[in-house]
Amino acid sequence: MTWQLNAVDFQADDASQSFSDYVHKTGFGVLTNHPINPQLIADVYAEWEAFFHDERRFDYAFDPVSHDGYIPFDKSETAKGAAKKDLKEFFHLYLHGRYPAMLSDKTRTLMTQMIDVASTLLGWLEENTPKEIRAHFSMPLSEMIKNSPRTLFRILYYPPLTGHEEPNAVRAAAHGDINLLTLLPAATADGLQALGKDGQWHTVPTDPKYLIVNVGDMLEECAKGYYFSSIHRVINPEGEAAKQARLSSPLFLHARPEVRLSDQHSAASYWAERQKELGLDRA
């Protein structure tokens, strides 16, 4: 089922209210007419596709302490509650972390631009959150991410399927994100689906003009469920599409570690809990 998303014009006078209302209802939002150049996104994907075919990628092996670097296919994460590892490999990039020497500076530029957009979106959400919910925030939402060392740009590569995958293994099993907000430029191929309140999986359309946004667990925690963390997955393609790779580049907006999300959790304690669940504390 294709999800008829109501794309919000980022430049519209009512964008703040429209975006916030839609995110509250669905956990997802879609922006169009946003300030990120689609050509920059395409260039970044092209550079990373070359990276994932370059033997030098192993020089940037994932560091479980700094949490940056390359995770190969055989060490991919296992979604919370899933039995099989996802069919993907990926790179964790932080603004302060290691950066592959074979890349231009375009990825850093894209990441910085996306953080700027995200700060605006968090401001919109806070502005339109009911006062009784907003009273639980330990600080303005957009302040939570300022200079956060945990905000992560993850570049994902889903290789073509071979037909020899483990039974029931999928490109990305159903999961919610741990962070405040996730920003996702259009991927290079279809496959992303979101679970609606109707209990049905809805295909999120791939269109270069869209910027997809979804709520993460941290925002649900500090908003007492007013914004809910949306469950999503990436399904395996079939037919000719199965022979094609897929690249995706979500930006995970994290609060600074010391930020209080609730009486129960700081951002640091929440983050550490999820890394153990994913197995990335020992990758």
DSSP one-letter string for the chain = -B-----EETTSTTHHHHHHHHHHHHSEEEEES-SS-HHHHHHHHHHHHHHTT-GGGGGGB--TTT--EEE-GGG----TT-SS--S-EEEEE-TTS---TTS-THHHHHHHHHHHHHHHHHHHHHHTS-HHHHTT-SS-HHHHTTT-TT-EEEEEEEPPP-S-PPTT--SEEEE--SSSEEEEEPPSS--EEEE-TTS-EEEPP--TT-EEEEE-HHHHHHTTTSS-PPPEEEPPP-GGGGGS-EEE--EEE---TT-B-SSS-BHHHHHHHHHHHHTTT--
Q: For residue range 57-87, what is the model confidence (pLDDT) as tens digits? A: 999 999 988 999 999 999 988 887 788 899 9
Backbone angles phi, psi at 224, to 5 degrees: 55, 35
Q: For residue range 106-123, what is the model confidence (pLDDT) as tens digits? A: 999 999 999 999 999 999
pLDDT confidence band for 277 (50 / 70 / 90): low
In this structure, what token pair is assigned to residue 202? 């809805």
CB under 8 Å to 174, separation ≥6 — which residues?
Answer: 79, 82, 195, 231, 232, 233
The whole-angstrom separation of Cα 240 and Cα 190 is: 13
Mean per-residue pLDDT, 90-117 = 96
pTM of the predicted protein model: 0.92
In this structure, what token pair is assigned to residue 188? 């290079």
Q: For residue range 14-38, what is the model confidence (pLDDT) as tens digits? A: 999 999 999 999 888 899 999 999 9
8-278 under CATH 2.60.120.330, yes or no: yes
Q: Has residue 280 got a pLDDT over 90?
A: no
pLDDT above 70: percentage of residues in the chain = 95
Q: For residue range 202-244, what is the model confidence (pLDDT) as tens digits? A: 888 788 899 999 999 999 999 999 999 999 999 999 999 999 9
Residues paired with residue 195 on neighbouring β-strands, in sequence order: 201
* C-beta of residue 91 within 8 angstroms of C-beta of residue 48: yes
Closest by CA to 44, choosing from 78, 5, 97, 91, is 91
